Structure 1
Amino acid sequence: MSGSLDIVVLGLSLSSSWGNGHATTYRALLRATAALGHRITFLEREVPWYAAHRDLAAPEYCRLEFYKDLAGLRRWSPVIAGADAVIVGSYVPEGVRVGHFVQEVARGTTAFYDIDTPVTLAKLAQGEHDYLSPELIAGYDLYLSFTGGPTLDLLMRRYGAPVARALHCSVDAELYRPRDVDRRWDLSYLGTYSPDRQAMLERLLLEPARRAPHLRFVVAGPQYPADIAWPANVERLEHVAPSDHPSFYAASRYTLNVTRADMVKAGFSPSVRLFEAAACGTPVISDTWPGIDAVMRPGSEIVLAEDTETVLALLCDPSAERRDRIARAARARILSAHTSKHRAAQLINELEAAHPRTPACSFREPELQRELP
């Protein structure tokens, strides 16, 4: 492959950011990839919960199309067959059958983009194959992983991925930048409810809020249980659209990053929150996990905390000197290595390097009438 590429992406959702972080990751990456001159078609499964909360119906940087079911996906076979590269994302509905279909039809490079790698591996270990199975891993030419570090070797050694490369989340630096807004909150958190994050959220945000009623906090995101006892000084926002993320971060003295248990165990899994908040000039307080120091320097570019007292000491410091110093250093680090432009260039390099391992068969219409595996 060389020059301008035709790329097809089958992902969880590009059109809706409600309850998932995939949309913001795809939007930043694909926008930057298109800016490099490549042509992108994004195929999204039409599901009612995203259709009801759609906040990007017609992106200017790619062709966005919907299919209702597997039979509806078949009509895109010529597009998939003619693409230079086809990428299937994690959590795609009926992803195993979609993956088999892509591997059978595609002539160009096939890749799996896992934005949930530690969760995926935990599912595989338990025999759950709702969107990926071991044999599919070996059938893709390239495994792009949200997680780096030792996980990449595991994917190749245990599961037979021909090539596994880290493709972390990133931030669109043109959209995420410092804003001149009033600081409404001392500490914010943006994230969908997850049971395995809740204990750390309790420790690093809710308990500090109880002990410091004079400070202001906010938790933004859907699906939190109704029985959570929110302190009076914790504001709740059900959803913040991506277009409002920069203002949300800018209105916070600090923002909190809390990592899911599987990702803490695997390490080397930086959340998009780290990149977005830092690009907006808001310093991040984060839980600790292996590999975080490869992304941002603890103490100078990010603050690591495991207990309530550490958070309170930081928030109750009346001086803005340390906060501003961390914010400047973090933003500089992100702009130097973690923007969507960096990731787009890496994506194209990886796709061009991962040529299909077997000669592509000619496109034959009768084969597309067969039932998907």
Structure 2
Amino acid sequence: MLIVILGLSITSSWGNGHATTYRGLVRELVRRGHDVLFLERDVPWYASHRDMPRPPHGRTELYADLADLKDRFTDAVRGADLVVVGSYVPQGVEVGAWVQRTARGVSAFYDIDTPVTLAKLARRDFEYLSPELIPGYALYLSFSGGPLLQRIERELGSPAARPLYCSCDPELYAPQAREPLWDLGYLGTYSDDRQPVLERLMLDAARALPSRRFVVAGPRYPAGITWPANVARVEHLAPPEHPAFYNSQRFTLNVTRADMVRAGYSPSVRLFEAAACAVPIISDAWEGLDTFFRPGEEILISRSGEETRRYLQEVPEAERQEMGRKARARVLAAHTAAHRAETLDDYTRSVNSGRKP
């Protein structure tokens, strides 16, 4: 197929989780024989933080604004077999309306932020998607699964809302023979809703275990946060540094955005990446987590700093390593970028054949 993807970013992972998802998906679509064109709005905050300015798979083009997009890429969108518009694309409503008017093939909306999107729609915040556009997309592809998809079809009129979860790249994320530097680490951009959970699950445990070592990596944390003395800070880690970071931890922490906890069935890309490195994960609790990993065998659930502390002190080393191996096996069996590319292929073929995906 000829595939055009209009996404937030593929050239820069700074402050977003979209880039790593698109990089893996594009590579695997190309490996399946497709011709993929990725279109990214050239914005200053990504231009100054590009860790992959020339993605090696498919074709990537930057456009200056909506007029430039239409002027240069109308023919590509019109001739594509599949056109995907991602969440948080600048002027996404205008871009989506143009795609629906122009594309002759299958058009799809790829929501990497589904619970956030639905919360925004409820507030009549149409930053990148409006309710009027949803019935016009043949596919609503979602990072979240479960009952939320039925709601998108029933209440918002999507012809077919289907999961296209995040994934990991097993060629990049794998175990490494490293001596752990930290007992527990966390990788994530600051957000107001995640910070109280990070405080409860990690920082409370750090205060209770002053001899243990902890680390928090990610940008945008306010200067006023008081970090315990045994918690190291890393401002930003580019994706090539993530595997080494995970492999330098005995356990890693997963903290989920509040909207995604409420929706359930919303795994983060960090969850799959850490598991692919065979690093045991301590996660907050949310509905549907057990459909991705078996609690107690492939992942640990914590609801307090005290639970986190017990895991760090009481899980035997052999059990810790076995848990990491089992989590990695689960990811390799079901949650790689190759699995997502195959799923997208299946959905598109179903639409083209007139069947419900």
Same fold (TM over 0.5): yes
Choose which of 289, 294, 300 in structure 1 pairs with 2:291: 294
Checking the alignment, whether the CA contact within 8 Å between 1:137 and 1:143 is kept in structure 2 is: yes
Work out the CA distance in 1 between the residues paired with 2:315 and 2:346: 47
| 1:317 CA displacement | 2.7
Work out the CA distance in 2 between the residues paired with 1:138 and 1:247: 43
Letter in 2 for 1:66: L
User: Does 2:44 match 1:48?
Assistant: yes
Work out the CA distance in 1 between the residues paired with 2:26 and 2:300: 30
Which residue number corresponds to residue 174 of structure 2? Answer: 177
Letter in 2 for 1:53: H
Which residue number corresponds to residue 110 of structure 1? Answer: 107
For residues 222 and 269 of structure 1, do their structure 2 counterparts lie closer, same or farther at Cα, with a shift above 3 Å needed? same
Work out the CA distance in 2 between the residues paired with 1:304 and 1:145: 24
Work out the CA distance in 2 between the residues paired with 1:243 and 1:354: 36
Which residue number corresponds to residue 336 of structure 2? Answer: 339
Which residue number corresponds to residue 309 of structure 1? Answer: 306
Which residue number corresponds to residue 30 of structure 2? Answer: 34
User: Does 2:181 match 1:160?
Assistant: no
Choose which of 10, 17, 38 in structure 1 pairs with 2:13: 17
Work out the CA distance in 2 between the residues paired with 1:16 and 1:295: 28
For residues 318 and 262 of structure 1, do their structure 2 counterparts lie closer, same or farther at Cα, with a shift above 3 Å needed? closer
Work out the CA distance in 2 between the residues paired with 1:313 and 1:33: 43
Checking the alignment, whether the CA contact within 8 Å between 2:184 and 2:214 is kept in structure 1 is: yes
3-state SS in 2 of match to 1:127: coil
User: Does 2:189 match 1:192?
Assistant: yes
For residues 318 and 299 of structure 1, do their structure 2 counterparts lie closer, same or farther at Cα, with a shift above 3 Å needed? closer
Work out the CA distance in 2 between the residues paired with 1:185 and 1:11: 35
Gaps of 5+ in 1: 358-373
Checking the alignment, whether the CA contact within 8 Å between 1:182 and 1:251 is kept in structure 2 is: yes
TM-score normalised over the length of structure 2: 0.97
Work out the CA distance in 2 between the residues paired with 1:280 and 1:79: 38
Gaps of 5+ in 2: none
3-state SS in 2 of match to 1:76: helix
Per-residue CA distance 1:94-123 (angstroms, 9 max, x = gap): 100000010011111000000000000000
Q: Residues 247-266 of structure 1: matches in 2 within 5 Å?
A: 247-266=244-263
Which residue number corresponds to residue 139 of structure 1? Answer: 136
Work out the CA distance in 2 between the residues paired with 1:34 and 1:221: 31
Checking the alignment, whether the CA contact within 8 Å between 2:203 and 2:305 is kept in structure 1 is: no
Which residue number corresponds to residue 216 of structure 1? Answer: 213
Work out the CA distance in 1 between the residues paired with 2:296 and 2:121: 36
Aligned length: 353
Per-residue CA distance 1:181-218 (angstroms, 9 max, x = gap): 22111101000001000100001111111111111111
Question: Looking at both structures, which has the greater relative contact order when contacts are Cα pairs under 8 Å and sequence separation is at least 6?
Answer: 1
Letter in 2 for 1:49: W
Per-residue CA distance 1:287-329 (angstroms, 9 max, x = gap): 0000000000000000000011110011123731221121111
Work out the CA distance in 1 between the residues paired with 2:329 and 2:307: 25
Checking the alignment, whether the CA contact within 8 Å between 1:108 and 1:356 is kept in structure 2 is: no
Checking the alignment, whether the CA contact within 8 Å between 2:145 and 2:266 is kept in structure 1 is: yes
Work out the CA distance in 1 between the residues paired with 2:151 and 2:276: 32
Which residue number corresponds to residue 321 of structure 2? Answer: 324
Letter in 2 for 1:216: R
Work out the CA distance in 2 between the residues paired with 1:265 and 1:17: 26
Letter in 2 for 1:41: L
3-state SS in 2 of match to 1:129: coil
Work out the CA distance in 2 between the residues paired with 1:216 and 1:356: 55
CA RMSD in angstroms, aligned pairs only: 1.1
